[in-house]
Amino acid sequence: MEIEVGEVAELVQALIRNRCVNDGTPGSGQEARSVDLIAGYLEGAGLDLERFEARPGRESLVTRIEGSDPEAPSLMLLGHTDVVPVNEDRWSRDPFGGELVGDELWGRGAIDMFNLTASMAVATRRLAVAGFRPRGTLLYVAVADEEASGLYGAKHLAERETDSVRADYLITESGGFPIDAGDGAVTLPAIVAEKGTMASRLRVTGTPGHGSMPYGTDNALVKAAEVVRRLDAYRPATRVSDHWRDFVRGFGYPPELTEPLVDEDTLADTCAALPPAIAKLAYSCCHTTLTPTVLRGGTKRNVIPDAVEIELDVRTLPGDDVESVGAVIDAALGDLADEVEFVPGVTIAASESPTETPLWDSLGRVGQHFYEGSALLPMLMPGATDARHFRPLGTTCYGFGIYSRKVPLETLATMAHGDDERVDLESLRMITDMWDVLVHDFLG
């Protein structure tokens, strides 16, 4: 089925159909296919295209419209071309079909984040073709490997190709979902901070023995089950940041609703009374979280295991480090702590950007263009984006986009990395316009 839906929708469809699924292994993703696609689309617009290959098949693309004033701040529009895997059985349609159904475009990546990656490319091409010369340089960057560590994408560029991707300001996913703030007012969240990650493992040891005689044995698997249970039951200290306080208060709800959510003594209990999606967000934004996700152990059915490994998805708040996370684990495990070894892995600290900046003010004006009277809401993101690789270079990074009201926020929140991911065409039109309005406002 091919219906004329405009160049941005066609580009989103093609990106979906390229199936650049990143399962975390080095050979997956193969984003060079989508770099070919985007490069092909941008060709003929007078842009210089730079391609960077971090390993075979893992390519990223950089292009720019040079500014006329070297003193003016530069802006990068940053998109990724990879997607997370799908569970096909749970989808109502082909996750890689890129089907247009009614006014919705279906497929993995539709909102995470081909809606942005494609519309950024379309806006950049249009500006180039129109001969637009900004004061500050505009960069468009499409990277591989965002859905894993960024090792073959943003991290590679930021660390090894720094001169090609240096920018004063950067916008990437996500944000810009209209939230009703009562009395017809709308707030638009913009991501200003994100939690850190610490890929960790716990090693649980025991004593081997014969599976036929379990009585009184020291079974590492049984111990690991109790470790997992304690980790799940443990409630680490609540930490309310200024960003969280501003975010909650920005909703404009009455104080009896907002105050318990900005009070470290009451937040965790208040979560139980909230809709699940809001509770998840509130809890994650104000706690260091330790999620057991993988358990490996045992060798043979009739052998009592003496070693089990638990993988932990640790998400950190600003100020957390290996020592403080170790202390949380010890507190969770109590008297089992001595029998468990904490093995911290790759650690990327939580990061944030200030909101007292010209780009923040510009986003506020741009938001008003689409939702009159709207206000920006600074938001902390529990997950990670590629912004974390650029903040250490001194780049001020926000997550922003713009969406229509056609897809409710609750639905949007479940679609990224979930089932039946799709985007409506009105949102695609709005977002493509948004980059144009933003570039003129901020770089013009």
Task: Give me the residues that bind Zn ion (CB under 5 A), please.
Answer: 112-113, 173
For 429, the token pair is: 């039109």
Nearest to 320 by CA among 418, 194, 202: 194
- Is the CB of 137 or the CB of 353 nearer to Zn ion? 353
- Is the CB of 86 or the CB of 113 nearer to Zn ion? 113
Q: How far is the CB of 351 from Zn ion (least distance, A)?
A: 16
Q: How far is the CB of 110 from Zn ion (least distance, A)?
A: 11
With b for 16 or more beta-carbon neighbours within 10 A and e for fewer, the 78-107 pattern comes to bbbbbbbebeeeebeeebbbbbbeeebbbb
Task: Report the residue number whose CB is nearest to Zn ion.
Answer: 112
Q: How far is the CB of 219 from Zn ion (least distance, A)?
A: 41
- Is the CB of 117 or the CB of 200 nearer to Zn ion? 117
User: Rounded to whole angstroms, how far apart are CA atoms 319 and 328?
Assistant: 13
User: Rounded to whole angstroms, how far apart are CA atoms 73 and 255?
Assistant: 39
Q: How far is the CB of 381 from Zn ion (least distance, A)?
A: 11
Residues paired with 328 in a beta bridge? none
Q: How far is the CB of 385 from Zn ion (least distance, A)?
A: 7
Rg (CA), the chain: 23
- Is the CB of 74 or the CB of 115 nearer to Zn ion? 115
User: Rounded to whole angstroms, how far apart are CA atoms 33 and 150?
Assistant: 17
Is the CB of residue 309 less than 8 Å from the CB of residue 296? Answer: yes
For 286, the token pair is: 């104000």
- Is the CB of 22 or the CB of 374 nearer to Zn ion? 22
User: Rounded to whole angstroms, how far apart are CA atoms 324 and 143?
Assistant: 33
For 414, the token pair is: 């479940």
- Is the CB of 76 or the CB of 267 nearer to Zn ion? 76
Nearest to 387 by CA among 406, 375, 400: 400
Is the CB of residue 75 less than 8 Å from the CB of residue 439? Answer: yes
- Is the CB of 113 or the CB of 281 nearer to Zn ion? 113
The CA dihedral of 106, 107, 110, 111, to the nearest 10 degrees, is 100
